[in-house]
Amino acid sequence: MRKRKQINHNDKYVVLFEFDESDELAAVDDGDTEGSDD
Amino acid sequence: MTERRWDPTRQEWVITATHRQERTFKPPEDYCPFCPTEADAEYPTAIPESDYDMAVVENGFPSLQPDPPEPAVDGSKLLPTEPANGQCEVVLFTPEHDGTMSREPVSRFIKLVKLWRDRYDTLGEKDDHEYVYIFENRGEDVGVTLHHPHGQIYAYPFVPPKVRTELHSSQEHLEEHGRCLFCDLLDEEREDSRRIIAENDAFTAVVPYFARWAYEVHIYANDHLPSLAAFDSDHERALGSLLKDVLLAYDGLFGEELPYVMGMHQQPTNGMGEDYAHFHVEFYPPNRTEDKLKHLAGSELGAGTYINNKLAEESAAELRESLDAARE
C-alpha cells in the first residue's frame, strides 16, 4: 500500500491510497466470499 | 465556530459546530465533491486527480480541528468550555458515485481495512487524539447528505462516552473474572449459535443478545485483538470478507441498500485498555420492517432504555437466510 498526500483547492489535505493488486487482493477475489462460513 | 462544553450531569462533552449548518446538502451528481476531478471540469472536486482507488480527505466542515478557534463563551469551574481540538476525515470507499459496496469484490473491503488501519495509526500518533473513531452513516434515513459511498473518522481529544462505558465494564469484568468481557460474550454467543450470522477464522458476525435495533449486527474479533494496530494481513483479509457478508445479508433483506450507522470500537490511542479493549464493529440499521423505521423516542432519548420490537434470534435467522440467498 502506498500513500500520496496533496492539498486541494480548499486547502484541505487529501491522501490517495494505491494498493498492490498483484498477489493477495487478486487471489481473494477469485473465490470472493471465500473464508466465510456460517 | 466550534467548541466543546462539559455536561457535568452526564460527565460528557458536547461539541458545538455551528458552521456545519452550511455543509453541502444532497448535491446533484455533477457537483459531487467526492468524485474525481475530470480533466475538463469547470470546478474542481475535493479530489485533485482524474481518478483514484480509495482516498481520505480532510473534512470540509469539521466538528473537530487541529487549530480550533477559541470558544464563543467563557465557561466556569462547574461548566467548563474547551476548544474543539481534534481531526475529522472523510474516507472515500470508491471513485464510483453510484457504487454499491455489497456489489464490490472482497478486495475492496480488504483495502478499506488496510486504509482504516493506516488512519488509526497515523491519527493516533498525535498526543491530543485520545480516540480514533471510524464510522459510516449510510442512507438518507440516517441523515446522509452526500450519496457518494463514504465513511468518516473523528479523532477525539477524549474517549467518547459509549466507548468509555464499554471499557469500564470490561475492565471491571477483567478484575473480577480475569478475562476480557468481550472474549466471554463471544464465547457465549458461539456456544448458543442462534444469533450468529456468519463467521470465519478470525471474526464472528452476530446479532447481539442485547440488540437495541431490530437488525443490529456486531462483528467481533475471535481472538483478543485490542485494535486495528494488532491486525496482520490474515486479519485484514478475514475482516474484509466478513464485512462484505454483512452487507450482502443487509442488502438482500429487503432487496435494496439497507441504511445503517456503523461504528468501530477499539482501544483508545491514549494507551489505556490493552487488556480489556476488544476490537469490534457495530451496525445499527433503523429499519424494524421493510417500510417502517425505529425512531428514538421517549424511552430511548429521555430515559436511555431501548425498546427493540424484534427478537434477536429471529433477526439473525432472517439475515442468515438473506446471506445464503445472496451467495447462490
In this predicted structure, the answer to whether residue B325 has a pLDDT above a threshold of 60 is: yes
CA distance B279 to B224: 8
Contacts for B150 with CB less than 8 Å, ≥ 6 apart: B34, B90, B91, B92, B93, B136
Whether residue B277 is contained in a domain is answered as yes
Identify the CATH number of the domain in which residue B239 sits.
Answer: 3.30.428.10
DSSP 8-state symbol, B270: T
Amino acid code (one letter) for B119:
R
Mean pLDDT, rounded, for B114-128: 97
- Each residue's pLDDT tens digit, B43-93: 889 999 999 999 999 999 899 999 999 999 999 999 999 999 999 999 999
Closest by CA to B307, choosing from B315, B318, B295, is B295
Half-sphere exposure of B216 (CA within 13 A, CB side): 20
pLDDT for the residue A35: 42
- Each residue's pLDDT tens digit, A1-38: 999 999 998 899 999 999 987 667 877 887 664 444 44
CA distance B199 to B102: 17
Number of domains in chain B: 1
List the domain range (segments joined by +) for residue B101.
24-59+86-327
pLDDT for the residue B24: 66
Whether residue B17 is contained in a domain is answered as no
A-chain residue closest to B322, CA distance: A38
Name residues 1-38 of chain A within 8 A of B (Cβ).
Answer: 1, 3, 6, 8-10, 12-19, 21, 24-26, 28-29, 32-38
**The model's pTM:** 0.95
Interface mutation target, options B57, B89, B235, B236, chain A, most CBs of A under 10 Å: B57
Half-sphere exposure of B199 (CA within 13 A, CB side): 18
Whether residue B2 is contained in a domain is answered as no
Take residue B129 and report the three cell numbers written for it: 487524539
CA distance B248 to B233: 23
Does B323 contact A at CB distance below 8 Å? yes
Residue B198 has its nearest CB partner, among A14, A25, A38, at A38
Q: What are phi and psi of B281, to 5 degrees?
A: -120, 135
Whether residue B276 is contained in a domain is answered as yes
